[in-house]
Amino acid sequence: MDSRKKKRDITIAVLLSALMLTLTACAEWFESDTSMSEKHPVQQNWGVTIPLTARELYSFDTPSSIFGDGLRWNVYAYDDPDANFFSDFESERSAEAESEIVEFSEDGDIPREYFPDFTQDYIWKRYIAEPLMTVDGRTYYDDNMYILYFPSEKRLYVIQMFI
């Protein structure tokens, strides 16, 4: 009888351990699945929440070095834009922003169909970290991010540049 109780206790312990491992694996999978979307890191890095209705079309991330530098490039279909999200965006074109985006895109192999068409109208906002240095009158920043929205394409571009 004592032997049966011992076997039962061992079986229960094994089943509980298997259940715990399964639950842990599921929790880790869920966390990695939700954090694979670039919406979450944008919130973490910049305090900006990408609208939930934006649907990711393309994602590119350069392998970062030990310093964390690199390029993150995300394109979203955004059919039903929220005016509140864009309330403080600029509507005037920015040659500087366009130039910087083109310059940084050279760090990645961005397919043409996921590159902004700067001949179209767009609104934009730049998020910047602290200034890194100024050379020949141009200020370079440690890290920065551009969010651009092209109404004609209904596309939202989130371009993060970590230097």
What is the pLDDT, as a whole number, of residue 142? 74
30-60 per-position pLDDT tens digit: 444 443 455 677 888 788 999 989 999 999 9
pTM metric for this prediction:
0.69
Query: What CA–CA distance (Å, rounded) separates 13 from 132?
Result: 57
Query: What CA–CA distance (Å, rounded) separates 82 from 120?
Result: 20
88-146 per-position pLDDT tens digit: 999 999 999 999 999 888 767 889 999 999 999 999 999 987 767 788 887 766 788 99
Cα distance between the two ends of the chain = 69
Is 70 within 8 Å of 61 (Cβ atoms)? yes
Is 160 within 8 Å of 143 (Cβ atoms)? yes
Query: What CA–CA distance (Å, rounded) separates 123 from 81?
Result: 12
66-95 per-position pLDDT tens digit: 766 788 999 999 998 888 999 999 999 999
